[in-house]
Structure 1
Amino acid sequence: MGSPEKKVNSGFLSAMSSSFSRLGIAMGRSVNGLLGYEGVEVINPEGGKEDAEEEARRGRWKDEERDSYWKMMQNYIGSDITSMVTLPVMIFEPMTMLQKMAELMEYSHLLDQADECEDPYMRLVYASSWAISVYFAYQRTWKPFNPILGETYEMVNHNDITFIAEQVCHHPPMSAGHAENKHFTYDITSKLKTKLLGNSVDVYPLGRTRVSLKRDGVILDLVPPPTKVNNLIFGRTWIDSPGEMVMTNMTTGDKVVLYFQPCGWFGAGRYEVDGYVYNAAEEPKILMTGKYNESMSYQPCDMEGEPLPETELKEVWRVADVPTEDKFGYTYFAHKMNSFETAPKRFLASDSRIRPDRYALEKGDLSKAGAEKSSLEEKQRAEKRMREAKGEKFRTRWFDQTDELAQTPWGDLEVYQYNGKYTEHRAAVDSSDSHVPEDVTSIEFNPWQYGNLAKE
């Protein structure tokens, strides 16, 4: 088990919301060399020993599409491509970034356990295991749709949670989310910064995640490692997330520092996570170890970080069973999130589920998905022009921008705060006897500021 560094970053876990990741193989050859497939170094994270040149030619792109897109992407090397590059729908999954933010709620029972736990160090074991649990799902290499400004996603019928997310800014793309049940509240402002390195993209999670445990009023702050998507165009796309994850109890000063091991040649070390829970004096109290695609375990330790005598390693979390040979690598929970099973009886017309390009892709109609995606993006640009002509600013509905400017390792972050209006809206709608359409997909997707968003 590797020893984690004790350096603490400031920041938070973003919607991760992206399917991109950080740190893996570095591009050691020039652009010209890559275009000629000369000396491409390839790490196969699954452990196979395939020929590097043959592996470099593989991928989800047809040769002509790959070469054309590669030539275009050269212009953006070294740049932040978060919202400046239009991507073909063939590399997307039928899910939006707002839904990816909600995917962190799959194992939210761990936060319930953290709230019920009286031991301050075990509280961090439960809470940090919750934060790690989503990384299994984040290994999917399909890209989620960027939300349209004003788009929302609602989730209910899971662990008594009410979840709402809203796209609050388009340039740069920013989302805000809020979840709550009787044990905790979860608040996130999500903003990603990317850097194109040629055949890979580094992603830095500018953002802030705060979890408040209701019983004792404990506030937890979460900082994830940066991540990287490898073999973006050439080769088999795969994701790695080495570096530190830090969760700090802002009430007591206790913290947990977990180190995600980098993926080595032929997959060595991939998925492995280990570290310690520390008290406010930075003395280790509990060691944690495991793999984020399998399980996490813990054991009390001494001041040197060694397991205490007569104690044993105990499992705290294990990944749930997943469908076999699923086209997009979805978990059962991801399918549940995408369905109307987790939607309120009457949901907002701005909800991601009824977004036409996402829905068309889910049904396997790539042609319609591409056309709908282009149409939505043009409507978004048209509304921006109208807003500028009127001299108005975009108005968020469920979150308000605060005066706070949070500092992260990768830049400053404008913080959005849940304003409570969705709770009032949900209570009013749920108590009404208004008609629910039999075919919910017939509801017109409407995130527009100047449209009739109140149709719901």
Structure 2
Amino acid sequence: MSEAKTPTPTPPGDTYKGWVFKWTNYIKGYQRRWFVLSNGLLSYYRTQAEMGHTCRGTINLATATITVDDACNFVISNGGTQTYHLKASCEVERQRWITALELAKAKAVRMQAESDDSGDDFPSSSPRITQGGGSQNSEVQSALRTLSNKVEDLSTCNDLISKHGSALQRSLAELDGLRLTGEAGDKIRQVTERATLFRITSNAMINSCRDFLTLAQTHSKRWQKALQAERDQRVRLEETLEQLAKQHNHLERAFRGAAQANASPDNKGKFTDLYIMKNCIGKELSKIPMPVNFNEPISMLQRLSEDLEYHELLDKAAKCQNSLEQMCYVAAFAVSAYSTTVYRTGKPFNPLLGETYELDRKRESGYRSLCEQVSHHPPAAAHHAISDRGWTLRQEITVASKFRGKYLSIMPLGTIHAVFEKSNNHYTWKKVTTTVHNIIVGKLWIDQSGEIDVVNHTTGDRCHLKFAPYSYFSRDVARKVTGVVMDKDGKAHYVLSGTWDEKMEFSKVMQSSRGGENGTEGKQKTVYQTLKARELWRRNPLPDGAETMYYFTALALTLNELEDGVAPTDSRRRPDQRLMEEGRWDEANAEKQRLEEKQRSARREREREAASQRTSTVDEDSLTDPSLKSAPHDNYLALWFERCEDPITGEEIHIYKGGYWEAKERGSWENCPNIF
């Protein structure tokens, strides 16, 4: 017994651990075990060292009963198959455990009730509040929840003091009934007097606690009513502001329409951003000419190259011996691509057909990247990057977008592939939806939402990532991302958590269990017991003055710098983009219209050639076949990528066929089209 260490008392809800004797069987009797109380779960191990790999058993206190046998013994049972008969080294130690268990149970029951009722906190019909006000309200709600939890802890302590005080008085009364004399009688009377003083003090504290609880509950209701009133007022103000904005836009359109009618011929070709917005609602934006006023001074090909901002995650993944750990780094890389978008509300330039962009960082970082616009309708860009550090990344992305008035949805279509040379592990994943909010009124802000499945086609490992959409009423942090890494049999090995704009962490799973039915569609939610989280990735800080430079990262600021030897089709050579970067807006818009008309003319010429070739390959009688009289098609072929069927996904894609970097070394670009 002397070897047992008394656990150090800790605040309610924190981890509480120590040695306790557990009944095993009639042969071995009580055996010393290491018990850990954390987050409403009581687990035990044979030794402290086992905490890293083997848990011998766990009881969820939310559904457990705690009973006391005698001075040192106590029993914990879940009412089913799990019952622990435990014995502490002394009565004081047992009482510490009982107090910690009672507090943890009360908190676990409270958290389970809050989880079940989490969807009923506020009416679902309440209007959405903008992000700025949401963060302030989230802080208030968080403070209220913290105060409420502390009040509940105090209430539990209050009940425990009352309970144990009554038991102490009963025991003393029993001793007093023995009518002992001499020294024993004096000691009993002394203890009785001290217990009486303790009871008086405890009763005073209990009464004060009850008064405080009543006061706190009363004020909590007042705070909630006041918060709801402030929320309602904010909604009314936003609705009023939106109506004013609509009226202002209507008057502005009428004024500009009248001014345009009387304008000189030089000004008749100009149009306002608001006539554009009206015509764009519900349409695919890639098919609508947009002025450079909406843009940032880089192309979509350069934006796609920004996916390599955190290429070092792939470098680390290439060194991993374990495929499941490698999956964690690949998943973090998939998330990191969105960190550059958090403040980037400007639209990249739509690439011209045949436009390219190279990003040669072989000397500094060991990789080379090439993008080419391989299709115009639908717009599609192929990307290929290869690194000396043992990985290859390729993707073909088609962007679909819809403007809904208040928000713009951008849906990337296509698959991203990452292949590691040493292990031959081949990963694929897709991108989530990007939403730009407050298009008509308010400050623009970006959100990412959806789910990603990162799949290792070599081993069958899988990581399921969830990007939680922003919600004003959510208790979670904004931009939250969670994920679970599983092997081919569905066993969880790692849990990922973080945000897509800040950092990601991963924790090794030691044990998983089914919790209460608070998952989606009535499914049981899985609870994971993990080791301490480790950081996978953290966003690089933005350069000083980024707010005046389109919120570009350090990498993005270098993407449009002129470099010698790049292809004549490279985005750095695009004239309208360069003029816009220099602030020459009118010239940039005029140049953009010229380039788009040149692109349309080239397309019409290709269609004429395709129609001519088709006509020359059929005889006169075969022209009666309706299928041969269909409209001519575009016979455009990409220069550096070739179209084929992906052996992994079965999709029709463009894969790099080689030749670009060799052409750059020779300086021979005669095969490049004249697109600028």
**Shorter-chain TM-score range:** 0.7 to 0.9
Equivalents in 1 of 2:499, 2:468: separation in Å? 10
Residues 231-250 of structure 1 aligned to structure 2 (within 5 Å): 231-250=438-457
Aligned to 1:150: 354
Equivalents in 2 of 1:312, 1:195: separation in Å? 42
Percent of matched pairs sharing the same residue: 30
Aligned to 2:399: 192
The secondary structure found in structure 1 opposite 2:555 is: helix
2:498 to 284, 290, 294: 290
Say yes or no: does 1:230 pair with 2:230: no
Equivalents in 1 of 2:253, 2:385: separation in Å? 41
Say yes or no: does 1:141 pair with 2:345: yes
Q: Is the 8 A contact 2:568 2:672 kept in 1?
A: no
The secondary structure found in structure 2 opposite 1:241 is: strand
Aligned to 2:296: 93
Structure with more relative contact order (C-alpha pairs < 8 Å, separation 6 or more): 1
Aligned to 1:417: 655
2:636 to 384, 389, 394: 394
Say yes or no: does 1:312 pair with 2:532: yes
Q: Is the 8 A contact 2:384 2:394 kept in 1?
A: yes
Equivalents in 1 of 2:589, 2:493: separation in Å? 52
Aligned to 1:3: none
Aligned to 2:131: 44
Equivalents in 2 of 1:58, 1:320: separation in Å? 40
Equivalents in 1 of 2:327, 2:426: separation in Å? 11
Residues 395/307 of structure 1: CA separation in 2 closer, same or farther (3 Å cut):
same
Aligned to 1:16: none
Residues 247-258 of structure 1 aligned to structure 2 (within 5 Å): 247-258=454-465
TM-score by length of 2: 0.53
- The structure with the largest helix share of the pair is 2
Aligned to 1:439: none
Aligned to 1:202: 409
Q: Is the 8 A contact 1:57 1:234 kept in 2?
A: no
Deviation at 1:361, TM superposition (A): 1.7
Q: Is the 8 A contact 2:481 2:497 kept in 1?
A: yes
Residues 56/316 of structure 1: CA separation in 2 closer, same or farther (3 Å cut):
farther
Residues 328-339 of structure 1 aligned to structure 2 (within 5 Å): 328-339=550-561
Q: Is the 8 A contact 1:398 1:420 kept in 2?
A: yes
1:165 to 356, 371, 376: 371
Q: Is the 8 A contact 1:98 1:152 kept in 2?
A: yes
Deviation at 1:196, TM superposition (A): 2.8
Q: Is the 8 A contact 1:261 1:269 kept in 2?
A: no
Deviation at 1:160, TM superposition (A): 1.5
Residues 448/230 of structure 1: CA separation in 2 closer, same or farther (3 Å cut):
farther
Say yes or no: does 1:126 pair with 2:329: yes
Equivalents in 1 of 2:655, 2:377: separation in Å? 19
Higher alpha-carbon deviation: 137-146 or 40-49: 40-49
Residues 320/76 of structure 1: CA separation in 2 closer, same or farther (3 Å cut):
closer
1:174 to 370, 373, 380: 380
Number of aligned residue pairs: give it.
392
Aligned to 2:181: none
1:309-367 CA-to-partner distances (Å, cap 9, x unmatched) read 6x311111111111244220111111122324xx5x41001111121111112222222
Structure 2 portions without partners, runs of 5+: 1-123, 138-233, 257-271, 514-525, 611-633
Equivalents in 2 of 1:376, 1:332: separation in Å? 30
Q: Is the 8 A contact 1:42 1:56 kept in 2?
A: no
1:5-56 CA-to-partner distances (Å, cap 9, x unmatched) read xxxxxxxxxxxxxxxxxxxxxxx99xxxxxxxxx985422573687424775
Matching residue's letter, 2:512: M
The secondary structure found in structure 2 opposite 1:95 is: strand
Structure 1 portions without partners, runs of 5+: 1-27, 30-38, 435-445
Residues 207/390 of structure 1: CA separation in 2 closer, same or farther (3 Å cut):
same
Deviation at 1:404, TM superposition (A): 5.0
Q: Is the 8 A contact 2:369 2:386 kept in 1?
A: yes
Pairwise CA RMSD: 3.3
Deviation at 1:94, TM superposition (A): 0.4
